[in-house]
Structure 1
Amino acid sequence: MSTTTVGRAGRRGTARALGFAALALALVALVVALQRQGLGIARLEGDLAGLRGMVAAHPLAGFLLYFGLYVAATSLSVPGAAVLTLGAGALFGVAEGTVLVSFASSIGASLAFLAARFLLRDFALARFPALFERIERGIARDGAFYLVSLRLAPVVPFFAVNLLAGLTSLRLRSFYLASQIGMLPATLIYVNAGASLATLGGHGPILTQRLVIGLLLLAALPLAAPRLRDALATRRLYARFRRPKRFDRNLVVIGAGAGGLVAAYVASAVKAKVTLVEAGEMGGDCLNSGCVPSKALLHAARAGKDFRAAIADVRAAIAGIAPHDSVARYEGLGVEVRRGRAVIESPWCVAVDGVPITTRAIVIAAGAEPFVPPIPGLAEAPHATSETLWDIEDLPRRLVILGGGPIGCEMAQAFARLGSAVTLVEMAERLLVREDDEVSAAMAAALARDGVAIRTGDRAEAVTRTEAGFALVAASGVQTIELPFDRLLVAIGRRPRVSGYGLEALGIPLTPARTIETDDGLRTLYPNIFACGDVAGPYQFTHMAGYQGGYAALGALFAPFWRFRPSYRAVPAVTYTSPEIARVGLNAREAAARGIEAEITRYDFAELDRAIAEGDTEGFVTVLTRKGSDRILGATIVGPQAGELLTGFTLAIQHGLGLKKLMGTIFPYPTRSEAIRAVAGQWRQAHASARGLAILERFHRWRRG
């Protein structure tokens, strides 16, 4: 920046500061002058009868002086606007008081708006860019209506709205109109309350009907205003669509994976008329290419079977579970199942292969799909994802797996035990990056024992053709290495399916993670359209999709009479390797990142009788508690049956049970579940009071005589 530019910017800043000071002094002088005329806030509160007499004697002068006082107070953003509004009702009545306050408050708000824009904008934008970026997005999306919605929410102080709006790009005309409209409901209620108070006399009843109504409206404003705001927003949102007079269905569910199946089941259970739409296989990814086949493959590999037998077990598992998710079963439950491609044409219409279905509500459960990165040469090489892996007929002699998350680790162990030479490549410095270091180390040790070559800190650069076939070119710092393979498995994550069924045309927004944006009740931008499962996030677990599916169905069917909000207090996750890794709630790494003071209690399976009896003592249990409390923040288990053991901690976190309660629970002997009581006992022992134990020792000494 040149010296000239700096000088000009400095002069503009000085001029604005002086202008703001001059405006403030002028308005303060006006307030003082008006107060000398007997219309100050203190006088309003202390001598209402005298003020009414003055106004009656000089109605026009009184009206103009009060109008000026109100404009001055609002433009300076000083406290007392509510008192002034009540006073307007008491002095001028409901009609004149409402007119006075409505225009005076809007004019004063506009002056505050202009002062903020010309004097404070550069200063505020430089220090709070993220805040104003969010406000600008709201204005860009909804225009002046965004401001109206803020005006209708009494939680947001009016003076704060004035100043914040002035720092945005909103036009003055739009601001004024939005203020005039948005503040009118509150103005009417406050003015009416003031007029009601003015009717109190020494000979009549104190609680007149009008005063009671005014006070009730005043109390109801914080509750009614957000609903009025939402109603206006909804009306504006749906304005471009034609709402059917009658509906074919109560609910249409898009997607027959875990979330969609549960949503359809719940809807049919409460006797709603529901249609379930699926373009692919019933059961979704979990049944056909995810949880079921991967766990069947792991089990077959653990049992020592060869690849062909393992694949046969996978197909048998899918066939055995498929009837649970079949068309026949759901039609037997009363669900209409349509096979085809669904497109949302309006908030009340879903077309299936071009055939429209009108519906009161929609649940989107479209799931997710494997993410394949744009690695040069990958498309021409023999590669697979978690969806296409099950089409392989022969065991790959050399398998390279890209991604060290749960899927990558599970498949690395399974194929290594089935006989492949497996290389696992992870860009991060360790496997399972969301887990604590000791958990990542336990996984790495387990895979290494099975013969998996682990390369962490390596970044995939390209896939090249070699004389022997193909190789993955990976870079570690400045060095590169070629990893030959017969098959490459891409397991670096999944992305939500958010295109191809009408979200774009409806303008339904997405989050930065590319999931559908929903509120805490799983509602999208349109209150009658819900989303659940992988497409909604924030977790990509089958059990979470099913959990959300039930809430989405209930919310869709019973809004606006009831709202249903899922709780994410205790979300379990399991990696089904040997040993299993299971976690619920926070771990030490996440607690530290959030600044939570926590304590870790650890129990090793080497001390557990059942583990010793079976000769399998690998693993441990760690429990994270808030410092000085037995409240469980999270638990991690590494070892056999970790996923089964985790249920005890999941229930405890969900229902607020501390370690003291778990310690007092009876567990059968000998079982691995005793580890839950054991770790609770270790926590209790570590937190025993030394002073209390000393008193007990003396007590028992006394009893011995």
Structure 2
Amino acid sequence: MRSRRLLLLMLVAAAVAAFFLAGAGDYLTLEALQAEQTRFQAWLAREPVTVIGGFFLLYVAMAALSLPGATLMTVLSGALFGLGWGLVIVSFASALGATLAALIARTLLRGPLERRYAGVLERVNAGIRREGALYLFTLRLIPLFPFFVINLVMGLTRMRLTTFYWVSQVGMLPGTAVFVNAGRELGELQALGDILSPSLLASFALIGLFPWLAKWLVALVKRRALARRYARPARFDRDIVVIGAGAAGLVASYIAAAVRARVTLVERERMGGDCLNTGCVPSKALIRAARSAREVRRAGRYGVRVAEPSVDFAAVMGHVQGAIEAIAPHDSVERYTGLGVEVLEGEARLTSPWEVSVATQEGPRTLTTRHVIIASGARPRVPELPGIDAIEVLTSDTLWRLEALPEHLVVLGGGPIGCELGQSFALLGSRVTLVESSGQLLPREDAEVGDALLAAMGEDGVRVLLGHRALEVVTDPTGPALEVANGEGQRERLPFTHLLVAVGREANVTGMGLEALGVETRANGTLEVDETLRSVLPNVWACGDVAGPYQLTHAGAHQAWHATVNALFGEVRRFRVSYRALPAVTFTTPEVARVGFNEREALERGVAYEVTRYDLAELDRALAEGEAQGFVKVLTPPGSDRILGATIVGEGAGEMLATFTLAMTRGIGLNRLLSTIHPYPTRSEAVKATAGVWKNAHKPERLLGWLARYFAWRRGGKRREKG
């Protein structure tokens, strides 16, 4: 088998090399055709079988070898043979060539790539199993990707080649007809003025409109296929049913009710979801209490003498619960009912794309709806470590039940949640050890960001073990401990009274009937949705943590607007969700805030950039308050003031970030930020100062040189006048 693959690879390489060395591409042009058109037509009249057969075989070979020029040959076929014969020749040649290309890719690459990229190909195969021929038909009809790419990728899947051939034959036919017809019009050009002929202009207009028409046709086919699988209700009781009353679900319900749509919101636990009850609100309340303890300890720096703070942990948790209770009315059943939203408490399950069964305390209810928005959120992920089931693990969901301050807390995970909570408990008086498997805290940020936070957490008493992997939880007469190992395999046992797991969150996708309806999940467990947040079912959408990729409250709200508007008005226009200017803040001390690219991401994506950096040690307000640690770092394209991304580390970083977020959203560059008046002395001046650093690095040196000469001339002129 290996020798046959090698032989096939050599034959393909030889054929491709021969194509380019022979200069075959030079002959596949409209100019070459028109120069030889008379002789070609005579040859076609004498030997039609030879000419047509030769063109057919050449087209098959080019498509099979994925050589450039297949689209041009499609156009040329119309010019050479006319619409009828050109369409017949190219239709069969393109389908046969595409099938051979898929076969070549399957023979040469499928085995090795399946072993290396099993997860990616399995998702493609899942789509093929789910939708069969319609999956390929959509790709053929809507040219989102070049056809040769589709040939090669589909060759790596488990689709039968016979299915691949006939779907390609049918799916490529409309597009082939459009291009062949355009070639026929070009072939009839006799004078320059013919370029403006209505028929030629219509042909080119059809090429431009075809992808939109094809997209509409595919949507129609999908809707009808869906209707055949499930009984579509004759009428609907609701416009939208939203499943989940967290941040995303609440925003979706609010928007739908605001435009007078009839909407039902279903929640199985507590209104407000994770953000209100176990996430943003309680964690920020806890962080504020911890910072108060930090401020007391550091008050001596300002000449204020106080004793070591005494932490009443029960009162701290009372403050946390008080914050939840103060904000809860904003997310309550009463408020949303008043806004026109029907709120049901119960477990929701989709029995069809248009029917949602809700198990309420009063009994089951069946809701018929035009659209469903899944906003079911996520939950903390607990790793499968040996021995972990024998202890009670704390997560960001459960630690709010604590009644006493942990004596020794081990935190597993150095992401935003682990860093925020680990530092807070250390400031409140716990002995904290944080374990992170990567080489830095906040692994998605630049290394200098992780270094700055590492130093700060060390000052606050957190012991941080980077590059350590958790092995198991052990329990002996002295108590439980987490056994870890560094990169060299050296083991260490970390005793604890409490273990907080903060290694990520996983989407809540089970129990809603989505699997039975064919709604797939990605490799990371989130629901598979497109750029408009629509699932494989045309009327089922998702937003928030369950959709990913960012598990942030404001990201969920951003998605909720898109999902709701696209659901209600998608027949007119659908909006793609953009994360280009999505801000994120880690509320540690110092805060870490970012919008857009950092250097790590820019390098990974091959984005050219230059860095402008401003140290907060130069900011008057920071110096006056004695909190001058940190920096502002902005990425821009080389020579441009357009902002690609901004990272801020320091006190108030999250508040300063808002200006950069607005600038990126509205297309405002650093030059205009520099010309904006900022109040003195404030931390927001760091934004203007950073813009000033960029401006200074991009001074027009030649112009400044001329100005220096001009002022020198003026000074000399004044002296002559006095003399």
TM-score where L is the length of structure 2: 0.83
Residue 144 of structure 1, CA deviation: 3.3
Q: Which residue does the alignment assign to 2:141?
A: 152
1:677 paired with 2:688, answer: yes
Alignment partner of 1:309: what SS? helix
Match of 2:575 among 564, 583, 587: 564
Q: Deviations over 1:484-534 (max 9, x none)?
A: 211111111111112111221111122222211111111111121111111
Residue 441 of structure 1, CA deviation: 2.0
1:347 paired with 2:353, answer: yes
Match of 2:329 among 323, 328, 341: 323
1:410 paired with 2:416, answer: no
1:618 paired with 2:603, answer: no
Q: Which residue does the alignment assign to 1:296?
A: 285
How far, CA to CA, are the matches of 2:288 and 2:416 in structure 1? 16
One-letter code of the match for 1:559?
Answer: G
Asked if structure 2 preserves the Cα contact closer than 8 Å seen for 1:41 and 1:80, the reply is: no
Q: Which residue does the alignment assign to 2:589?
A: 578
Q: How does 1:264-303 map to 2 (within 5 A)?
A: 264-303=253-292
Q: Deviations over 1:364-403 (max 9, x none)?
A: 1111100111122222223210000000111121111111
Q: Deviations over 1:94-126 (max 9, x none)?
A: xxx3xx556544543454356546667534658
Q: Deviations over 1:191-236 (max 9, x none)?
A: 777899999999xx99999888777655533432233234324433
How far, CA to CA, are the matches of 1:162 and 1:478 in structure 2? 46
How far, CA to CA, are the matches of 1:193 and 1:558 in structure 2? 35
Between 457-466 and 501-510, the greater mean CA deviation after superposition = 457-466
Shift in CA distance, 167/42, structure 1 to aligned 2, threshold 3 Å: farther
1:635 paired with 2:646, answer: yes
Match of 1:454 among 464, 477, 480: 464
One-letter code of the match for 1:676?
Answer: V
Q: Which residue does the alignment assign to 2:250?
A: 261
One-letter code of the match for 2:511?
Answer: G
Q: Which residue does the alignment assign to 2:73?
A: 80
Alignment partner of 2:389: what SS? coil
Q: Which residue does the alignment assign to 1:425?
A: 435
Shift in CA distance, 607/291, structure 1 to aligned 2, threshold 3 Å: same
How far, CA to CA, are the matches of 2:187 and 2:598 in structure 1? 61
Residue 185 of structure 1, CA deviation: 3.0
Q: Which residue does the alignment assign to 1:185?
A: 174
Alignment partner of 1:503: what SS? coil
Match of 2:394 among 381, 384, 398: 384
Q: Which residue does the alignment assign to 1:27?
A: none
How far, CA to CA, are the matches of 1:502 and 1:566 in structure 2? 26
How far, CA to CA, are the matches of 1:282 and 1:405 in structure 2? 27
One-letter code of the match for 1:637?
Answer: I
TM-score where L is the length of structure 1: 0.85
Structure 2's unaligned 5+ residue stretches are 20-31, 63-69, 294-310, 717-723
How far, CA to CA, are the matches of 2:153 and 2:197 in structure 1? 40
One-letter code of the match for 1:362?
Answer: V
Asked if structure 2 preserves the Cα contact closer than 8 Å seen for 1:70 and 1:81, the reply is: no
Shift in CA distance, 42/214, structure 1 to aligned 2, threshold 3 Å: closer
Asked if structure 2 preserves the Cα contact closer than 8 Å seen for 1:109 and 1:159, the reply is: no
Asked if structure 2 preserves the Cα contact closer than 8 Å seen for 1:398 and 1:422, the reply is: yes
How far, CA to CA, are the matches of 1:374 and 1:586 in structure 2? 33
How far, CA to CA, are the matches of 2:200 and 2:705 in structure 1? 66
One-letter code of the match for 2:676?
Answer: T
Alignment partner of 1:695: what SS? helix
Q: Which residue does the alignment assign to 2:339?
A: 333
Structure 1's unaligned 5+ residue stretches are 25-39, 56-60, 91-96
Between 110-119 and 611-620, the greater mean CA deviation after superposition = 110-119
Alignment partner of 1:360: what SS? strand
Between 77-86 and 192-201, the greater mean CA deviation after superposition = 192-201
How far, CA to CA, are the matches of 2:265 and 2:665 in structure 1? 31
Residue 437 of structure 1, CA deviation: 2.3
Residue 570 of structure 1, CA deviation: 1.3
How far, CA to CA, are the matches of 1:446 and 1:200 in structure 2? 74
Alignment partner of 2:516: what SS? helix
Q: Which residue does the alignment assign to 1:33?
A: none
Asked if structure 1 preserves the Cα contact closer than 8 Å seen for 2:98 and 2:148, the reply is: no
1:248 paired with 2:233, answer: no
One-letter code of the match for 1:671?
Answer: T
1:608 paired with 2:597, answer: no
Asked if structure 2 preserves the Cα contact closer than 8 Å seen for 1:116 and 1:167, the reply is: no
Residue 132 of structure 1, CA deviation: 8.0
How far, CA to CA, are the matches of 1:389 and 1:6 in structure 2? 57
Shift in CA distance, 136/257, structure 1 to aligned 2, threshold 3 Å: closer
How far, CA to CA, are the matches of 2:668 and 2:197 in structure 1? 51
Residue 66 of structure 1, CA deviation: 7.9
Q: Which residue does the alignment assign to 1:236?
A: 225
Alignment partner of 1:505: what SS? coil
Match of 2:542 among 531, 538, 543: 531
Residue 415 of structure 1, CA deviation: 1.2
One-letter code of the match for 1:582?
Answer: A
Asked if structure 2 preserves the Cα contact closer than 8 Å seen for 1:44 and 1:87, the reply is: no
How far, CA to CA, are the matches of 1:670 and 1:505 in structure 2? 60
Q: Which residue does the alignment assign to 1:361?
A: 371
How far, CA to CA, are the matches of 2:682 and 2:332 in structure 1? 37
One-letter code of the match for 1:290?
Answer: G
Match of 2:403 among 384, 393, 400: 393
Query: Among the aligned pairs, what percent are the same residue?
Result: 49
Asked if structure 1 preserves the Cα contact closer than 8 Å seen for 2:354 and 2:369, the reply is: yes
Q: Deviations over 1:617-676 (max 9, x none)?
A: 232222222222222222222222111111111111222222111111101111111111
Q: CA RMSD in A?
A: 3.7
How far, CA to CA, are the matches of 1:20 and 1:587 in structure 2? 44
Shift in CA distance, 141/73, structure 1 to aligned 2, threshold 3 Å: farther
How far, CA to CA, are the matches of 2:572 and 2:462 in structure 1? 56
Alignment partner of 2:336: what SS? helix
Asked if structure 1 preserves the Cα contact closer than 8 Å seen for 2:544 and 2:557, the reply is: yes
Alignment partner of 2:584: what SS? strand
One-letter code of the match for 2:664?
Answer: I
Q: Which residue does the alignment assign to 1:463?
A: 473
Match of 1:522 among 530, 533, 537: 533
Residue 416 of structure 1, CA deviation: 1.5
Between 149-158 and 650-659, the greater mean CA deviation after superposition = 149-158
How far, CA to CA, are the matches of 1:539 and 1:392 in structure 2? 28
Q: How does 1:626-705 map to 2 (within 5 A)?
A: 626-705=637-716
1:551 paired with 2:562, answer: yes
Residue 160 of structure 1, CA deviation: 7.2
Asked if structure 2 preserves the Cα contact closer than 8 Å seen for 1:70 and 1:108, the reply is: no
Residue 316 of structure 1, CA deviation: 0.4
How far, CA to CA, are the matches of 2:698 and 2:492 in structure 1? 52
Q: Which residue does the alignment assign to 2:451?
A: 441
One-letter code of the match for 1:82?
Answer: V
How far, CA to CA, are the matches of 1:206 and 1:522 in structure 2? 42
